[in-house]
A and B are shown apart, each in its own frame.
Chain A
Amino acid sequence: MIWMRRNKQLKICTMLKKYFKYIGLPIGLSMVLPVLTFAQDSTAVVAKAVEALTPAVAATPVPFISAGNTAWMIVATALVMLMTIPGLALFYGGLVRSKNILNVLMQCFIITAVISLEWVAFGYSNAFGSSTGFLAPYVGGFDWAFLNGIGINDVSPYYISQATERIPHLVFIMFQCMFAVITPALIIGAFAERIKFRGFLIFTVLWAILVYNPVAHWVWSADGWLFKLGALDFAGGTVVHINAGIAALVMAIMLGKRRLPKGQHITPPHNIPFVVIGAALLWFGWFGFNAGSGLAADGLAANAFLVTHIAAAAAALSWALLDWFINKKPTVVGIATGAVAGLVAITPAAGFVGVGSAIIIGLLVSVFCFFMVSVVKGKLGYDDSLDAFGVHGIGGIWGAIATGLFASPLIQSAYSGAFAGNPKQLGIQLIAIVSTMVYSGVLTAIIFKIVEKTVGIRATEEEETAGLDITQHDEIAYNEAD
């Protein structure tokens, strides 16, 4: 069916060209009108593009749905889902104590369910739609609420390198849905083992609506102010990782430390094999996250695929070596954490840097994150249970800065960083980092206070001691019965 449709569109396109050439503009325009209406239905951006290009329509092919790109993007979307459940769920689940693993798995699972619904209800419209007036650069409106007016054959208004051979709008919505899901799930690492489930759920929904959707709009929407400023964030270093990382730090501080026995600051991970499976699934899913962010199956995706893998490898190795030199033994949690840190750092840069830069980005991110979680965290005394800030916040900030440094015109000719003679890019990256940190930090604090004052958010001492599995869910992960 799609193939038929595509051919039909192409035919219309050729017909239009003929009309313009031989019959003249007035008749040609009357033929364009139906196409324009069709485009307006689907997207404001396409409408704009088509309007702007109308006089030269003969030279501009109408975007259509490419089967190859669509096939890849559906797979990539499914890969990104794998990152949250079971990837992140097991990564975090293995790191907590055995009395809290179900709570972490449940948090990841319910985020997947509830944010997906929020996304089609109005989240997508808020993040990627357009609005009018002074809010336009900051948040989208409700035109696409419940995906109103978006048909199954509409092309995505958003594209990176393939302006003509696009994917269905619905696939773009699903791809972005998975990003909206994983971002609040990352914050779990900061408040794990001490949050009431009800408070957590309300916090998460409010955070997605008030923080994630606007920040995604700033950076990725065609109207977004950071997008217009020229901030580079290929797959979500700012929107996903810095955003969630700062929220994690604020949550860890405001929620207070876990109630641990006197003198104890660390709880041993209860299942390190889960941590490894989770980290490996994150790595695997990240290929969809980064290589899918080009929204096409082309050379740019290939580059993202390559640098994602190499940065993760470099960071995993560098963390293991740091462990080895500093604590005399390479640790399994260490190498898994290093891989995740490398993936975080390469995320914003994946579509802008080459393999050499990826190695440097990966090797260095583990140094920064290692220093953060082993030295700074202890000095400052906040209890970021699973280092959501130490890995995603710090790794994300380094990635955003590194993108401003290493972006190379050899990857996308329009973009270069400081080392390619465009120091201005670094300044733009810093504006994006700081504005996201301030906005996410302040809003997270406000949402926390609202939830704390209304339904309550911190688990009681009994709940925390008995474990959140039994107190929040009436279930036990590891049953003695056979």
Chain B
Amino acid sequence: MKKIEAIVRKSRFEEVRAALHEADIDFLSWWEVKGQGTARQGLIFRGIAYDVNSVARMYITFVVRDINFEKSINAILKSAYTGESGDGRIFVSQIEQSIRIRTGDHGDESLYDLDEKK
């Protein structure tokens, strides 16, 4: 099992979500974040152009079975890409254990819907 964390543009978020669904990833968490990087967000206040030194992004995180790992990474790479500075990052880490609270399932079985048997 691996945890994937991706920081993507807000404007690409819906595409990323759809692409992950295509890649059989149905369990996701995300939140809006602010951060800094090379990208700049220009703003105007009463005739003065300025930048706030922070940009808004979506932070997506989910845990995948090893069999789904490659295709979910590819899904993000494809759907979050614009080619401009500021497209974001993907971080991967090893997960020791995963437990579904309702059933007490451990490991891989806790990561997909047993009824659908994917």
User: A residues bordering B, Cβ < 8 Å?
Assistant: 261, 264-266, 268-269, 322-323, 326-327, 329, 331, 333-334, 337, 370, 373-375, 378, 387, 390
Contact = CB atoms under 8 A, between A and B. Distances in A.
Nearest to B54: A268
Contacts of A387: 46
Contact of B46 (A261, A264, A329, A373): A373
Nearest to B41: A268
Interface of B: 43-50, 52-53
**Among all A-B residue pairs, the 6 with the closest Cβ atoms:** A374-B47, A373-B46, A327-B44, A266-B50, A266-B45, A374-B48
18 contacts: A265-B48, A266-B45, A268-B45, A268-B52, A322-B47, A323-B47, A326-B47, A327-B47, A333-B45, A334-B47, A337-B46, A370-B46, A370-B47, A373-B47, A373-B48, A374-B47, A378-B48, A387-B46
A294 B45 CA distance: 36
User: A interface, by DSSP: helix, strand, loop or mixed?
Assistant: helix
Nearest to A327: B44
A359 B50 CA distance: 32
Contacts of A326: 47
B80 to A, nearest CB: 26
A268 B48 CA distance: 11
Nearest to B43: A268
Given A331-B45, A373-B48, A387-B46, 18 more contacts: A261-B53, A264-B50, A265-B50, A266-B45, A266-B50, A268-B43, A268-B45, A269-B45, A322-B47, A323-B44, A326-B47, A331-B44, A331-B46, A333-B46, A370-B47, A373-B47, A375-B47, A378-B48
Contact of A334 (B46, B49, B52, B53): B46
A482 to B, nearest CB: 16
A327 B43 CA distance: 10
Contacts of B44: 323, 327, 329, 331, 334
Contacts of A329: 44
Contacts of B48: 265-266, 373-374, 378
A374 B49 CA distance: 9
Nearest to A370: B47
A331 B42 CA distance: 13
Q: Which of A327, A334, A378 is the most central at the interface, judged by chain B CB atoms within 10 Å of its CB?
A: A327
Contacts of B53: 261, 264
Nearest to B50: A266
Nearest to A331: B44
A390 B109 CA distance: 65
B54 to A, nearest CB: 10
B111 to A, nearest CB: 29
A400 B104 CA distance: 77
Q: Which of B44, B47, B49 is the most central at the interface, judged by chain A CB atoms within 10 Å of its CB?
A: B47
A326 B49 CA distance: 10
Contacts of A266: 45, 48, 50
